[in-house]
Amino acid sequence: MGGALFWTKALGSLFIICAGILGGKLMAGKLERELEELGRFELALLNLSTEISYSLSPLPKALANAGRKAGGDTGILFSLTGSLCGLEQRRTVEEAFGLALERSQGLNLPARLVEVMTVLVRNLGVWGCKEQIGFIDMALRETRDYRASVQEEYSKKARMYRSLGLLLALGIVIVLL
């Protein structure tokens, strides 16, 4: 009987430790996905700039192409905005972006990314090609600065979440034993 109780406690402890490790990894993964999405946003802005300046694509097509190349939730937002704007849709880029945000509530987009995009879309399609490139470059600089400032903080927090998950699980096991 004593051996069965030992193995039950050991197995329960193992499950608790695994749950703690998994919880820590999930929290760290959320931060890493957010940082990855900022990188995708940078890529989308670079692609949008290229589409407008070199390919001379119409803005709806440029947005859709930039979104397709960036991928992820950012890519979905760019592509959806591109498909909702233009003369055929009778919407400005700003209106299309607002509608795209409404339709894509389940996307995991950092709040800062949405703020930068909101400012950017006010100026897309309103000015000439050179001015639009300037606004995209400003958004790109702002995004890069923000990403650089949070990258180290995110990696520290991710390590902390992993460690806290394990330590919390070990604390629970000690209390239960």
First to last CA, the chain: 17
Tens-place pLDDT, residues 90-123: 888 888 898 888 888 878 888 888 899 999 998 8
**Nearest Cα to Cα of residue 81 among 134, 40, 118:** 118
| Arithmetic mean of pLDDT, 133-154 | 88
On the question of pLDDT at 1 being above 70, the answer is no
d(CA 146, CA 39): 11
Torsion over CA of 106, 121, 136 and 71, rounded to 10 degrees? 20
Using a pLDDT cut of 90, give the percent of the chain over it. Answer: 27
Hey, what long-range contacts does 90-94 have (CB within 8 A, 24 or more apart)? 92/125, 92/126, 93/59, 93/63, 93/121, 93/124, 93/125, 94/121, 94/122, 94/124
Using a pLDDT cut of 70, give the percent of the chain over it. Answer: 98
On the question of pLDDT at 137 being above 90, the answer is yes
pLDDT score, position 53: 85
Most confident of 4-8, 11-15, 26-30, 135-139: 135-139
As a whole number, the mean pLDDT across the chain is 86
More confident position, 150 or 78: 78
100 contact partners, CB below 8 Å, separation of at least 6: 77, 80, 81, 84
Tens-place pLDDT, residues 27-69: 877 778 888 888 999 999 999 999 888 878 888 899 999 999 9
| Arithmetic mean of pLDDT, 131-144 | 91
pLDDT score, position 48: 93
